[in-house]
């Protein structure tokens, strides 16, 4: 594989807890090519979310190296990592990170505003409030939620919350999309709709997906890696 978008070499992660130091990941090596969709599966506690956090620069490896888009996370301070995530990565977490008293459009507009003045691959450059809202609407449309743009986040269904989180992740114009169990608590038609939306980005974005819904994993992933006890 030439110039992978994500590259982990002999990565270890150990964290200090009440019972002492806990070894979470043990010598993980993984390369993810541009435009690839990778599924991470394994039992609870196997280290999947921790591995995703390392890929997003949200946690630091205690051994080995993590490189994204040619940048070594180990050489970057926290501010540099935050800027890198803002500029290049979208993340959908298990828990929601929404402002319930704001509309879907306003929630996405906040994310777009973080990149105000930059040129979007998916969306037009943002220079005015009108363009800001237009970019947010385009992100909502990508997530299939543009018809709910003016609804307060607290009034959206659980499945719509997931699509709003996806719109926010897309609004930052990512090259890499990291998804940590995005279908948790979502079933039926809502789950199918979410998976269908993600399938539209296969090849356009590099995606890493943690998910217990194996049907979703095999619909989305080009390749599946299994974690057991941090290996």
Which structure tokens are listed for 123? 């969306």
Supply the mean pLDDT for the chain.
Answer: 89
pLDDT value of position 122: 46
pLDDT value of position 63: 96
Say what the pTM is: 0.89
Pinpoint the alpha helices (H) of 13-148.
48-55, 78-88, 104-113, 129-142
**What is the helix, strand, coil percentage profile of the chain, to 5?**
35, 25, 35
- What confidence tens digit (pLDDT) does each residue in 100-147 have? 999 999 999 988 887 654 444 444 444 577 878 888 999 999 999 999
Which of 5-14, 20-29, 127-136, 180-189 is predicted with the least confidence, judged by mean pLDDT?
127-136
Task: For residue 177, name the pLDDT band (cuts at 50, 70, 90).
Answer: very high
Alpha-carbon distance of 205 to 222, in angstroms, equals 13
Alpha-carbon distance of 145 to 175, in angstroms, equals 21
């Amino acid at each position: 594989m030439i110039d992978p978008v994500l590259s982990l070499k002999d990565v270890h992660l150990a964290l200090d807890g009440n019972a002492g130091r806990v070894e979470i990941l043990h010598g993980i090596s993984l390369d993810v090519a541009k435009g690839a969709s990778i599924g991470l599966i394994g039992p609870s506690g196997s280290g999947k979310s921790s591995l995703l956090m390392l890929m997003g620069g949200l946690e630091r490896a205690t051994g080995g190296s993590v490189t994204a888009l040619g940048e070594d996370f180990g050489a970057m301070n926290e501010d540099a990592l935050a800027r890198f995530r803002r500029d290049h990565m979208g993340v959908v977490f298990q828990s929601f990170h929404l402002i319930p008293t704001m509309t879907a459009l306003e929630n996405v507009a906040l994310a777009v505003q973080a990149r105000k003045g930059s040129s979007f691959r998916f969306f037009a450059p943002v220079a005015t409030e009108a363009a800001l809202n237009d970019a947010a609407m385009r992100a909502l449309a990508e997530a299939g939620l543009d018809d709910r743009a003016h609804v307060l986040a607290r009034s959206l269904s659980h499945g719509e919350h997931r699509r709003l989180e996806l719109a926010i992740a897309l609004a930052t114009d990512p090259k890499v999309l990291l998804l940590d169990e995005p279908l948790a608590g979502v079933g039926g038609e809502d789950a199918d709709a979410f998976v269908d939306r993600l399938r539209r980005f296969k090849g356009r974005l590099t995606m890493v997906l943690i998910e217990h819904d194996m049907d979703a994993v095999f619909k989305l992933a080009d390749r599946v890696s299994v974690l057991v006890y941090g290996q």
